[in-house]
């Protein structure tokens, strides 16, 4: 065996030993000060108190990954508030659970069977797609306090498009705070034994930034099929407040709040 061939064999063996050594180190070694078991820390989803809306019912419920104000009269939330950031948007495959009543709603949230045969979807307010980072966070969105009767073409159409748009904003510009629900005012039709109100309009308010850099955008969309672009549904926050009787962003200084809520600024949001 000549010297060149012998050296090649030696180098090859050394390379294999190095690869095996790195694999073993990465797989099995941990320093004495470390522990092999780590606690998973879920992404921060707490909504800043400055952004809490007012509650006309006093029935505010805090879950781990969203909060809501429940209206027993309408058997659904008058608002759901949650935080969404790029770390929340994952492609994890989660097992879809059954809808169940919310254990934290003292008057008991509506039974999912009210929707059965009604012609309306059980439309999520805090989207399940925003909470795939753990199975527990995903499951939490299936409380019936987090759903509202939505026309199938609305739920699978413009509402879905808006949810996807919010996810794109979250990936590029997050964290965002979102407040959303149906407009629970007027003589609304109902479904089911518990007479769950069917909103004629749904709103979604999105905020980004802090202090003087705070930007907000609000959408008001009829609960029906529509192929119109999302920009057509942008309205001042003041309009949503007038329709719902809810005061959004209570903790924001009044001067800034008045300025943000009275105007429409789509330039601050890339569609």
Q: What is the mean pLDDT of residues 111-116?
A: 97
Q: What is the mean pLDDT of residues 261-271?
A: 93
Q: Which two tokens stand for residue 267?
A: 């330039």
Residue 37 confidence (pLDDT): 30
For 94, phi then psi, to 5°, come to -110, 145
CA–CA gap between residue 60 and residue 105 (Å, rounded): 8
CA–CA gap between residue 130 and residue 92 (Å, rounded): 11
CA–CA gap between residue 252 and residue 180 (Å, rounded): 18
CA–CA gap between residue 168 and residue 16 (Å, rounded): 44
The three-class DSSP label of residue 237 is: helix
Domain map of the chain by residue range? 49-268
**Residue partners of 165: CB distance under 8 A and separation at least 6:** 230, 271
pLDDT in tens, 23-82: 343 333 333 322 223 334 456 778 999 999 999 999 999 999 999 999 999 999 999 999
pTM: 0.83
CATH fold of 49-268: Extracellular Endonuclease; Chain A (3.40.570)
How many Cα atoms within 13 Å fall on the side-chain side of residue 63? 27
The three-class DSSP label of residue 105 is: coil
Tell me what the pLDDT averaged over the chain comes to: 88
Residue 268 pLDDT greater than 70, yes or no: yes
CA dihedral over 4, 5, 10, 12, signed as positive or negative = positive
Lowest mean pLDDT among 161-165, 173-177, 191-195, 220-224: 173-177
CA–CA gap between residue 200 and residue 189 (Å, rounded): 9
pLDDT in tens, 152-164: 999 999 999 999 9
Mind telling me the catalytic residues?
124
How many Cα atoms within 13 Å fall on the side-chain side of residue 145? 26
Question: Are 180 and 146 a contacting pair, CB within 8 Å?
Answer: no
Question: Are 219 and 203 a contacting pair, CB within 8 Å?
Answer: yes
Based on its alpha-carbon atoms, the radius of gyration of the chain, rounded to whole angstroms, reads: 25
Residue 7 confidence (pLDDT): 61
Question: Are 67 and 159 a contacting pair, CB within 8 Å?
Answer: no
Residue 27 confidence (pLDDT): 31
Please state, for a pLDDT cut of 90, what percent of the chain lies above it: 80
Question: Are 142 and 128 a contacting pair, CB within 8 Å?
Answer: yes
Task: Give the burial string for 224-259 (b: 16+ CB within 10 Å, else e).
Answer: eebeeebeebbbbbbebbebbebebbeebeeeebee
């Amino acid at each position: 065996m000549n010297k060149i061939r012998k050296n090649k064999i030696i180098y090859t063996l050394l390379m294999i030993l190095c690869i095996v050594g790195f694999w073993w180190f990465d797989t099995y070694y941990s320093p004495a000060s470390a522990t092999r078991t780590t606690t998973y820390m879920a992404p921060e989803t707490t909504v800043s108190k400055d952004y809490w809306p007012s509650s006309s019912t006093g029935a505010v419920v805090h879950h781990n990954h969203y909060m809501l104000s429940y209206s027993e009269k309408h058997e659904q939330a008058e608002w759901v508030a949650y935080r969404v950031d790029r770390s929340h948007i994952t492609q994890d495959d989660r097992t879809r659970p059954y809808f169940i009543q919310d254990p934290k709603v003292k008057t008991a949230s509506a039974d999912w069977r009210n929707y059965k045969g009604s012609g309306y979807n059980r439309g999520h307010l805090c989207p399940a797609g925003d909470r795939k980072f753990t199975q527990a966070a995903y499951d939490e969105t299936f409380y019936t306090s987090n759903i509202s009767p939505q026309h199938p073409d609305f739920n699978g159409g413009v509402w879905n498009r808006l949810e996807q748009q919010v996810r794109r904003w979250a990936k590029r510009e997050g964290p965002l705070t979102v407040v959303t629900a149906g407009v629970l005012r007027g003589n609304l039709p109902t479904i089911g034994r518990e007479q769950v109100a069917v909103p004629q309009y749904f709103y979604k308010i999105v905020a980004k930034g802090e202090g003087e850099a705070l930007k907000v955008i609000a959408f008001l969309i009829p609960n029906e099929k529509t192929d119109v672009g999302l920009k057509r549904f942008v309205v001042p926050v003041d309009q949503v407040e007038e329709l719902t009787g809810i005061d959004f962003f209570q903790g924001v200084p009044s001067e800034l709040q008045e300025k943000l809520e009275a105007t429409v600024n789509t330039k601050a949001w890339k569609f």
